[in-house]
Amino acid sequence: MPSQTTIPETRHVERHGYLFGHPIAHSMSPLLHQTVYDGLGLKWSQFPLDSMDMDLFLRLRQDPNFYGAAVTMPHKVSIVKHLDGLTPEGASVGAVNTLFIREDPVTGKRLYMGTNTDVVGIRDSFYQNVSNPDTCFHGRPALVIGGGGAARSAVYALRTYMKASKIYLVNRDRNEVKAVMDECTARGYGDQLIDVASAEQAASLEGVGAIVACVPNFTPKTPEEIEARRVLECFLGKSHKGAMLEMCYHPTPWTEIAEIGQKSGWQLILGTEAMIYQGLEQDKFWTGREIADMPIANVHHVIAAKLSEARL
């Protein structure tokens, strides 16, 4: 944890936002948004605010030139109580990664609003990369690996947008799976969630069309980790080959799970795709512009170049 937060100097831009979280040194968020603003001709910037200090952030957001913030761990849940309202996505997932500003039409008061664009990032990663969703994943079961906030966003995206018939949950920790199932059920999108605890159970289940992997890149070591990997390999080995989004992209998107998926004949979607599309959705809230008007191709080029640097 930083002993003292460095407050960015923002006077040289017309409007500014923050990336608020810790640790964030390796985030590509400021680069992505700068590419968008430059492409739109806006003298805007997003500045990293590497901090655990919520009170500091709440003071900084009062600046008249502040347009909003990307909110990342560990603040995605704790920020909610400091907001005036949530979009359906923010309310349903119970976590906010985007703070944006609106004005009360009656009082003119500034309203701090929250949404979750991670769900859109997951959705658009599939729809922008899969040529035929009907044959790939529509109407089929889906699979989510993990038990954290990204797993909840994945369940919401698969259930709400991607026509998953049921969703299998795979994780080394059964308690984490239960927590995801309980929370999704409480928030109204927990139907047909199935905890798959063993490879034997997986072998008896219908194959999946979409997989979202929401775990760090690591080699399984404990019995629980090894069994979870066996479950994934069982689904990857079934006859229908769909598309897999590997959400992990730092320090590299070329993970063990990505390699196993590709070798099994699955279409791999890199986690930077989800990062890009959730970021473009954020800029839609902040700038009021449609995504079609943003420099999408240039954003992909800039992020790909940054990834190439990381691989050197």
Whole-number Cα distances in Å, 63 to 31, 67, 79, 107, 300 = 22, 9, 18, 19, 31
183 φ, ψ to 5°? Answer: -70, -45
Query: Is pLDDT of 46 > 90?
Result: yes
The Cα 307–Cα 291 span in angstroms is 23
The Cα 173–Cα 290 span in angstroms is 40
> Residues 24, 30, 31, CA angle at the centre, nearest 5°?
120
Between residues 284 and 188, the one the model is more confident about: 284
What pLDDT score does 311 carry? Answer: 61
What pLDDT score does 111 carry? Answer: 98
**Domains of the chain, residue spans:** 15-116, 120-271
What pLDDT score does 223 carry? Answer: 95
Give pTM, 2 decimals: 0.91
User: In CATH, what number does 15-116 get?
Assistant: 3.40.50.10860
What pLDDT score does 233 carry? Answer: 97
What pLDDT score does 251 carry? Answer: 77
CATH of 120-271, one of 3.20.20.190, 3.20.20.140, 3.30.70.330, 3.40.50.720: 3.40.50.720
- Residue 241 tokens read as 């080959």
- Residue 265 tokens read as 């004949």
The Cα 74–Cα 271 span in angstroms is 20
- Mean pLDDT (the chain) is 94
Parallel/antiparallel/unpaired status of strands 98-103 and 66-71 = antiparallel
Is 76 assigned a catalytic role? yes
Confidence of residue 312 (pLDDT cuts 50, 70, 90): low
* pLDDT tens digits for range 254-284: 899 999 999 999 999 999 999 999 999 999 9
- Residue 115 tokens read as 């949404």
Between residues 43 and 252, the one the model is more confident about: 43
What pLDDT score does 172 carry? Answer: 93
Convert 126-163 to b/e letters by CB count within 10 Å (16 or more is b).
beeebeebeebbeebbbbbbbbebbbbbbbbbbbeebb
Q: Which of 43, 76, 163, 166 is catalytic?
A: 76
What pLDDT score does 121 carry? Answer: 97
Instruction: Give kind and range of the element (H or E) at residue 69.
Output: strand 66-71
Beta-carbon contacts of residue 63 (< 8 Å; ≥ 6 apart)? 10, 16
* pLDDT tens digits for range 91-137: 999 899 999 999 999 999 999 999 999 999 999 999 999 999 999 99
Query: Is pLDDT of 2 > 80?
Result: no
- Residue 69 tokens read as 């913030």
Whole-number Cα distances in Å, 74 to 16, 21, 52, 77, 271 = 22, 6, 8, 8, 20
Confidence of residue 290 (pLDDT cuts 50, 70, 90): very high
Instruction: Give kind and range of the element (H or E) at residue 67.
Output: strand 66-71
